[in-house]
Chains A and B, each alone.
Chain A
Amino acid sequence: MLKIENLHVSIDDKEILKGLSLDVKRGEIHAIMGPNGSGKSTLSSVIAGSEDYEVVKGNIFYNDENIEDLSAEERANKGIFMSFQYPVEIPGITVTNFIKTAINSNLKARGEKEMPAGDMLKKIREKSKLLEIDSKFLSRSLNEGFSGGEKKRNEIFQMAMLEPSLAILDETDSGLDIDALKIVANGVNKLKNDDNAIIIITHYQRLLDYILPDFVHVLQDGKITKSGDKSLALELEEKGYDWI
């Protein structure tokens, strides 16, 4: 589904990713772990289509299509989703109206009809229940004044609504207390199926206690230096990154 080959990425002439390769197949969960400044967030932003970064070398294939020239919205329309580490506050638009706009934009871009209001409402109700989101929360301005945990929960709510094929969760566990972490993880697990894939980018292994990855990769200085299974995460937790 996602194939990254020898990816080199710079921002302001500073090279951050230095030849990263990754192969994610349908139905898989990959965790990418690494110390601060190793390029984790750059990787998620680049996959999502941020224009702040420059791809110097290498390729990103999504469903066998080179997506380098696609804009962020085109990537999203094709089913790529990123849960933001720092979701942006947008006063003046409610959570509900935002998600309605997003869903219909994606449908329109795929040449499909807009979702009927009744179906939309039903889906919103169903998915907000999954993430234990209160209906009052849905009529608040998007992310404005939300706590860290509320922001993250709202990201996963959006993921649940948009049903992406590839979801990248960028530090979704940061700012979550243990209860919220469980709710978010439970939500993600329920959304997981054989047709989609998830990349979890994280600092700590605690989220991986709840969402079990098929593969764990270590990202260090812009490259993946080690890959393994779930046990690698535990080893990292215990020993840190220096031993690799």
Chain B
Amino acid sequence: MSGAAELAGLLGLAYWAETSIKLGVALIVIPTAALLLGYLFLLKMMAFMQSRLGPQDVGPYGTLQLIADAVKFLQKEDIHPATADRRVFRAAPVVVLASSFLLFVVLPTGPDAVVENLDTGIFYAMAVSSLSVLGVLMAGWASANKYALLGGLRAAGQLIAYELPLILAVMGVVIQADSLNLQEIVRAQAEGEIFGFGLIGNPFILTQFIGFLIFMISAQAELTQTPFDMPVAETELVGGFHVEYTGFRFLLFFMAEVATAFAFSALATVMFLGGWWIPGFDFDAPALNVLGPVVMLIKILVVAFIIFWIRFTYPRLREDQLQKFAWKVLIPLSLANIVVTGIFKVVV
């Protein structure tokens, strides 16, 4: 029984009213999150790292740049390649964006502040996040462009190589928390102890450090950020799967990219950094419904910073090198991590 449903029951809301509130929140939160990350990291931090100034003209310190960009994209002509498979071509960006929207459904930001507290939350998150590759593949195929096709196929290859270590890295957390439910994972961290010292709980980054590393590396590949951005590869494939997209369809891809980065940072926060819980509070304290999202946001920004930092620093691997790395290093390492976690779980 989810906390949110109880809350809704308390307020006497009908199912449709509750659902539309949740939908409204999701519709506001996701573009805001995408804009926040896009502005803060993609534009400003990247500019400072590259000794540039970044956007400054639109709004104070250029904060409204992304809105200006969105308006610009909306004005652009919506071009379909003549030989494109029109229906698939149109559906692809929606599929990609839908997968990142669906991720936000299970993310807990407070004891009751969660859209849907699924018992199989992490399983669901992993499942819907891999949907985006379907959209990428659709885009690559339907564009009727060789560069796009190569990009789409690379994305598919990457999915097989990286979904596996991603899920295996999560397994360690699941074993330790005894649950697939994201709220329960937060609770396990909040109520855990480090050698009898329980003040800050037990963020799983301490015990699952290898899992955290593998998760972050795989997430980087899942998000097609730089060491693993072969499906996009601006200098080779000129943008890969979205090379033929213009206007708002391109905007959808862009939003999905940044929103998924936000969602994955949130997942890492929930699973490894203690989620929304603040040391010193009861797990169910109502105040956490307000403070939780703030704490969550700070942690998400830290994780996203790492993701984008790596993106702006490293060159890109080649597809075969990536496969080698995934199959020879990450998967054995994550399997070993599961075995060790399992042994500790049974023994300790």
State whether these chains interact.
no
